[in-house]
Structure 1
């Protein structure tokens, strides 16, 4: 290797080292702002285990934004177990949740532990989910998501029966939704008839 190439590589390594050092020197408040741009899986994969300070911030102070689509299929169950452990340790609740996978939603919602931890949810985004599952998720009597949800995005919701879409729509615009400030939803056409609620925004 030529002296010039060796010097360039050394300079690049020094720059990387300096960048990492500067990031680690950020105050906790700034680090938490940066962490807020990650979903919880991405945050843990990127920063958990790097040092004790990051681990403490992620476990006890960072916000939990769950995006089930960011989790590779082969790691999904393993991550659920790890997430269970972290949340039990920290006592924190997810603030936002999104998925377009019916199976993963059903799997998590079937576990009472996860249902209990969703009770403080502020933002919900669901796509390609059955309308009955959406209704059960939001208006479950144990979690009572409807009391705290502030933002709801429902996209391409699968509508098998028109009365199911009507029931969901009626309840989403009812006084039950005490904290709701934003609602965006659209349904896939019901079969064999149309449900009449193709698009809606509040």
Structure 2
């Protein structure tokens, strides 16, 4: 009796391409590359690749296979950790630069510790990434670099023609200030900048150079000198009308926050995380009415001291007085924005964590619930 045997090579190219998508990229090349010209062609010419170094443990992948798919790679992610150390060093020692990956769409560097040599080598040809749409620096430590050395990198990034999403989370040697680009980005729409210190006048320049910006997220830390009114009384009345969503982290200065609001009058979504500043409902109402007239979604978290502690009854009265400012028609009737307050006594002060509900912040409230053991809300039944 004749038997039909399935020969692997009898499968169609389309089926192989679907099958290859199930393989880890290292296993895929080790299993199929070099078997015959058909497999080589399928691997190199008919697929696009996501190269994630979090799952690549072997240094020889860079030296042996990466050059074969350099024009087919659309995603690169580096992540230095115990399981995958020195990925950037392997990439560098194999002779690669980012500019060689001219079809790349997504580039992410996470948990990378870069020296000055890495900076010069790694980013010298970012300007060639004409198809890049997403760029992320996540928890990158550039302790061998002063922020001034990064100016050229910022200029290259702002000149990328298709870049729409950019995420900066890095720290340099010394105090880090984000350098305002001199070029105008005609494509950048979503921008996050964390880990840097700011002066009010820097925002004006940044917003001018990013006219298509729709979502802006930034950690709003500043030096105390920025709080001197006369120093920045000359701030121009520039307004960016394209930004609709604003996310503020680590706000420790009301003045800097309001200066930013003045430049972004069309914001309709605000998410803000405040430390050591006490703003009651009346103050927030005045800020929103004066500077954010289009605001529809308001998400706020505020950790601060309310007043010196006296006794339990008086402390609770102070909390009630504070919460009453968030129970006005502006909050309850016009916007239906509600808040919750965790409070308690610490270091002879009434401390509180005030946040909008539902809670929309990534950090857990375990700390607040344990140390600030009393709670009240402006929303009945919550």
TM range (shorter): 0.5 to 0.7
User: Which of the two has greater helix per residue?
Assistant: 1
Q: Name the structure with the higher strand share.
A: 2
The correspondence for 1:82, drawn from 48, 53, 64, is 64
Residue number among 8, 14, 26 corresponding to 1:41 in the alignment: 26
TM-superposed CA distance for 1:83, in Å, is: 0.7
Is the contact between residue 154 and residue 185 of structure 1 (CA under 8 Å) also seen in structure 2?
yes
Structure (1 or 2) with the larger CA radius of gyration: 2
Give the match for residue 168 of structure 2.
185
The one of 96, 102, 105 equivalent to 1:119 is: 102
How many angstroms apart in 2 are the aligned matches of 1:46 and 1:37?
13
Deviation, 1:182, is: 1.5
* Cα offsets for 1:11-55 (capped at 9, x unmatched): xxxxxxxxxx7x988753454355446553243246557887554
Q: State the alpha-carbon separation in 2 of the partners of residues 95 and 69 from structure 1.
A: 16
Computed over aligned residues only, the root mean square deviation of the Cα atoms, in angstroms, reads 4.1
Extract unaligned runs of 5+ from structure 1: 1-20
In structure 2, how many angstroms separate the alpha carbons of the residues matched to 1:27 and 1:62?
15
Q: Does residue 163 of structure 1 match 2:147?
A: yes
Write the distance in 2 (CA, Å) between the matches of 1:126 and 1:144: 17
Equivalent position of 1:95 in the other structure: 74
Residue 28 of structure 1: aligned partner: 13
Within 2, Cα distance between the matches of 1:162 and 1:81? 31
Kept in 2: contact 1:151–1:180 (CA 8 A): yes
Asked which structure has the greater RCO (Cα within 8 Å, sep 6+), the reply is 1
2:54 to 59, 65, 69: 69
In the alignment, what sits opposite 1:3? Answer: none
Match 1:198 to one of 191, 194, 199: 194
CA distance in 1, matches of 2:138, 2:70: 31
Superposed CA offset, 1:94-150 (max 9, x none): 2211112373313323444x3364233221111122455467424x24x64443311
Gaps of 5+ in 2: 1-5, 179-192, 196-215, 219-382
CA 1:178/1:42 → structure 2, altered by over 3 Å: closer, same or farther?
farther
CA contact (8 A) 2:71 2:102 kept: no
In 1, Cα distance between equivalents of 2:217 and 2:156: 11
Deviation at 1:178, TM superposition (A): 1.0
Aligned mates of 1:105, 1:184 — CA distance in 2: 19
> What's the offset of the Cα at 1:153?
1.9
The normalised TM-score by structure 1 is 0.60
Q: What's 1:60 paired with?
A: 45
Distance in 2, matches of 1:104 and 1:45, equals 19
How many pairs were matched up?
172
